[in-house]
Structure 1
Amino acid sequence: MKYFKFIIFILALSSVISCGGDDDICESGEGTPRMKIALKKDNKISTLDSIKIYADLGTSVIDLGWKLKVDSVFVPLRVDDSPFTDIYVQTTTQEDSTRVRINYTTKSIYVSPGCGVKRNYENVNSVLSTPNSLKSVEQGQNFIENEDKTNLFFNF
């Protein structure tokens, strides 16, 4: 009976020790960051009633859905070797979407065994084509390492 309790104790202790926190998958936000876009009206950051954004990620177009009463949005960028991501913006269902091409260079950084590699984006700039309700685009911070700083401003 003594040996049985000892074996149970050793098994319990080894199972607790083997559970490591280092291999948890990107729990604290160290994955590839999204681009933060602030929304402006009359050159002031303001809340838009509605906005719909699509992101062309190469293999598919991601519909981020309608966002209601927001002053900023987060948009994922491509993680392949492409030097740009196209995003499409609408403020009403009746208007055609406006294409904004986001150009950048990528840099891969190793994070951890569980999370793997994340992409950082440098030299971020944008080109607006066929403006509708989106009148212009202003540059913010020109690199993306995390989601704290605003990278683009959309002027409506």
Structure 2
Amino acid sequence: MKYFKFLIAVCFISLLFSCGGDDDICESGEGTPRMKFSFLTAETGKEKTVDSLYVAVDYGSGKVQLGGQAKITSRVIPLRVDDSPYTDIYFRITNKGVESKVRVNYTTRSTYVSPGCGIKLNYENLNSVLDLTTTFPVKSLQAGQNFIENEDKTNLYLLF
């Protein structure tokens, strides 16, 4: 009986020490990065705080509304993770208002991170095109960093 209790105690202690680890979850920003958008004034080119911004993204099965935010100077938006070479993003400044369509073209490169995180995508050769059928609310685009490895740098400036 003493050996049985000892065996159970050893199993329990080893179970406590073997649980968890750094590779179990992907917490430290090692996943696929999102694209960062910042806003500028079209007349002066200076940073602008947008009173409200609503975003929708077409991930291949129709538009997905990402919701609105108020009083922001930048926003990060996830891009498609399938084999598509582009993502269509729609911006508007009112909930039911006119929207501007921006097509973001890119190439992807897969990188293995860890057993818990799996594979992340890095986006390269970013090229954004504004649909010119509507020039409101976004008047034009200005390129930023043309690759996405993390969410620190602005990849595209929207001029309002």
Same fold (TM > 0.5)? yes
Question: Which residue of the other structure, out of 85, 88, 91, is the alignment partner of 1:86?
Answer: 88
Question: What's the CA shift for 1:5?
Answer: 3.9
Native 8 Å contact 1:95 1:132 kept in 2: no
**Residues 73-106 of structure 1: CA distance to partner in whole angstroms, max 9, x if unpaired?**
1111000111100000101245321100000000
User: Aligned AA for 1:144?
Assistant: I
* Corresponding residue for residue 159 of structure 2: 155
Distance (Å, rounded) in 2 between the aligned partners of 1:32 and 1:104: 14
For residues 52-87 of structure 1, the C-alpha deviation after alignment (integer angstroms, 9 at most, x for no partner) is: 011111134221111100000111100011110000
Provide the TM-score with structure 2 as the length reference: 0.91
The counterpart of 1:145, out of the listed 135, 144, 149, is 149
Per the alignment, residue 139 of structure 2 pairs with 135
How much identity, in percent, do the aligned residues show?
A: 58
Alignment of 1:1-156 (within 5 A): 2-41=2-41, 42-93=44-95, 95-129=97-131, 130-156=134-160
Relative distance call for 1:94 and 1:29 in structure 2 (3 A) is: closer
Moved more, 16-25 or 68-77: 16-25
- The 3 A distance-change label for structure 1 pair 80 and 94 is closer
Does 3-12 or 141-150 show the bigger shift?
Answer: 3-12
Q: Structure 2 stretches of 5 or more lacking a match?
A: none
**Residues 65 and 111 from structure 1, CA distance in 2 versus in 1: closer, same or farther, beyond 3 angstroms?**
same
Q: Give the alignment's TM-score, normalised by structure 1.
A: 0.93
SS at match of 2:112: strand
Query: Aligned equivalents of 1:79 and 1:21: distance in 2?
Result: 27
